Structure 1
Amino acid sequence: MAAPRITTPVTTNTSTPFHHSLSSPSFSTSPFPKTPHPFPTITIFTPHKLHRNTNFSTSVSGIWDAITGGADSSRQALIAIRRGMVLFRQGDVAGSVAEFDNAMKLDPRQKAYLWQRGLSLYYLDRFEEGAEQFRIDVAQNPNDTEESIWCFLCEAQLYGAAEARKKFLEVGRDPRPVMRDAYNMFRDGGDPEKLVDAFSKGRESEYFYASLYAGLYYESQNEADKAKVHIVASCKSPYGQRSDDYMASLAKVHCLCRNWEL
């Protein structure tokens, strides 16, 4: 996943080696700083891969800006997205959605890239809207493993895992081994314990992601106790405690929303 996109963003790939992959622009070069209690400090960042939106040429972008109020509207939208991301990391999920929705009003082009909004909608139990957000995002970035998984997670809550699997979004091959294995597990069904075991002695980031997605898989199967074991483990892992990755914050937000003690 990555941060929201503007029509003519400045592309950057300065994220950490194992940064969250859902796509859209970024606001800073460090993943997601830690925030004050209940999470460590806050610095503003927009996630991983900043993909350029090739659907708009510079000239079309200029026409759009002329119609809608220009670059100032786009800047205000990005500021709203920053605020939404910070609020989410602080545990104010409803507040984050309000900011993301405001960003879309300021610059409707942002909707196709607001994966952060999809994550927030999941934690508000607005699963239909969350699935729609991720499907729109994958239409723009057909190689995003995590957006595909999160679409499944939303639809599993709506229709059950078996039915959601029939609608599973196929995407391109993820370069990260742990996410390839996680993707296959969600798409085909599998054993979350094997996923965690496979990466338990690997890089800290791989263990974090294996634990997080193992827990999310169990949640999609309505196995809350097993989900708790793995998501709490992801939070307590070295990567979960120290990383600025947005997904490290998400793991903490997950525990907060489920009233799980860390």
Structure 2
Amino acid sequence: MLNPLRSLVLVCLSLVLATACAAQSIADNQRWAIEARRALDQLDYKSAAKAADKIAKSPATDEFQRVAADTLLRCGESKRAIELFERYLTQRPNDRPYLWQLGIAYYFAGRFKDGAKLFEIHREVNPNDVENAAWHFLCVAKAESPEKAKQLLLPAPNDSRAPMEEVLQMFHSGDVEPVKERMNSFTSGSAASRSANFYGHFYLGLYADALADEATAKKHLDIAAKDAPRNYMGDIAKVYAAHLKPKL
């Protein structure tokens, strides 16, 4: 049998090694997360996805798994993003209502009913977001029909971002002109104009996609992707535009 003192020493050594390994894992994940962020900022999606893949394959904490999932979605890898988002939710189930990103990933993966459900519960924590209502409309239109999507359109009052009020009206009425008029109401070249045009084209494209008007959807999403800001939805616009391209 082992000497008690020797046993204690071995236990202590094991704890030290485990702590050191855990610290190294955290340091590695921090480094890869920074690499992913920098690559996204530089529009280097291949390098960003590689960094996210390293996190995904490591014994990463929940938060790092979510970072990897977000990065992969922004790089167009929706199915792998879903895997990591859902892994994250096994440890953080109460976060599901906040995870609108997963709803977008569900759409790109063709899981329209799952997407619709996610956007419905997201409204419980974010009731004024027209973008959430828009993605819900899209998922219901794809899962059932545009008519059903109109019936189930989620309320989203008081979204002050241009042209979100007009976008919500468009889903009610089918009239795209107020969105275009609002987009054109700003001084050309201004920050407000760039933002309104990006989101306007994005959601004009999404609405056309919901109606199965592929040519119009592609036209607007291509414009949104071309002029996309360097942020989460800017990257999603590029993913969306690529998603609409004919599969060869």
- Compute the TM-score of the two structures, normalised by the length of structure 1: 0.68
1:235–1:252 contact (8 Å) kept in structure 2: yes
Aligned to 1:139: 124
Cα distance in 1, alignment partners of residues 108 and 42 from structure 2: 20
Cα distance in 2, alignment partners of residues 159 and 141 from structure 1: 24
Aligned to 1:90: 75
> Kindly tell me: are residues 232 and 42 of structure 1, through their superposed partners in 2, closer, same or farther at Cα, counting changes over 3 Å?
farther
Aligned to 1:220: 210
Aligned to 2:11: none
Matching of residue 168 in structure 1 with residue 123 in structure 2:
no
2:48–2:75 contact (8 Å) kept in structure 1: no
Cα distance in 1, alignment partners of residues 239 and 47 from structure 2: 9
SS at 1:84 equivalent: helix
Matching of residue 36 in structure 1 with residue 26 in structure 2:
no
Aligned to 1:233: 223
Aligned to 1:128: 113
Give how far 1:201 is off. Answer: 5.8
Any gaps of 5 or more consecutive residues in structure 1? 1-28, 45-74
Cα distance in 2, alignment partners of residues 41 and 179 from structure 1: 31
Higher relative contact order (CA 8 A, sep 6+): 1
RMSD between aligned residues: 2.7
Give how far 1:248 is off. Answer: 0.8
> Kindly tell me: are residues 40 and 81 of structure 1, through their superposed partners in 2, closer, same or farther at Cα, counting changes over 3 Å?
closer
1:33–1:42 contact (8 Å) kept in structure 2: no
Cα distance in 1, alignment partners of residues 240 and 246 from structure 2: 8
Any gaps of 5 or more consecutive residues in structure 2? 1-36, 53-59, 187-192
The sequence identity of aligned pairs, in percent, is: 26
- Structure with bigger helix share is 2
Kindly name which structure, 1 or 2, has the bigger radius of gyration based on alpha carbons: 2
Aligned to 2:4: none
1:93–1:124 contact (8 Å) kept in structure 2: yes
- Compute the TM-score of the two structures, normalised by the length of structure 2: 0.72
The range that moved more, 35-44 or 83-92, is: 35-44
Aligned to 2:10: none
> Kindly tell me: are residues 42 and 251 of structure 1, through their superposed partners in 2, closer, same or farther at Cα, counting changes over 3 Å?
farther
Cα distance in 2, alignment partners of residues 143 and 43 from structure 1: 34
Aligned to 1:3: none
Query: Which of these residues, 93, 103, 107, is aligned with residue 92 of structure 2?
Result: 107
